[in-house]
Amino acid sequence: MKRHAALQQLSREHHIALKLARQARFASDSGNPTAIGEAAEKINALFAEALEPHFQVEETDLLPALAKAGGETLVKRTLDEHAELRALNQQLSAADGSKLSRFATLLNDHVRFEERELFELAQDLLYPEH
């Protein structure tokens, strides 16, 4: 999908998130407590260095502009999912396979939603010249 320059870096960062979701899925599906714990530790580290900064850019720059332009429903969903991902990340320290599974599913679905719906709407409303 061709992205407007303002969305290209965010879109590239989604690749990292999808890889992380996939790793979380493999670990949770394994049922192996060691693999689950290692995945949870990796997620905690990458969340702080990659996902949280990504969320902050979206929440500071993209989402307010999109809400003003008429995208309130998708903005609310995005913020709700960011909040749930943050909460799940905090709960992963217990190395719970079901929480890791929920994190994997939500992160994967969230990235797909942003790429297929949120960013498409942003391009239409904020960057119509794309």
| Segment 58-91, tens digit of pLDDT | 999 999 999 999 999 999 999 999 999 999 999 9
Which pLDDT band, with edges at 50, 70 and 90, does 130 fall under?
low
Q: Report how far apart the first and last C-alpha atoms of the chain are (Å, whole number).
A: 11
pLDDT the model gives residue 1: 66
- Strands (DSSP E) contained in the chain are none
> Can you tell me which residue has the tokens 């809400």?
67
Does the pLDDT at position 2 exceed 90? no
Burial of 2 (0-12, 13-18, 19+ CB in 10 A): exposed
Does the pLDDT at position 38 exceed 80? yes
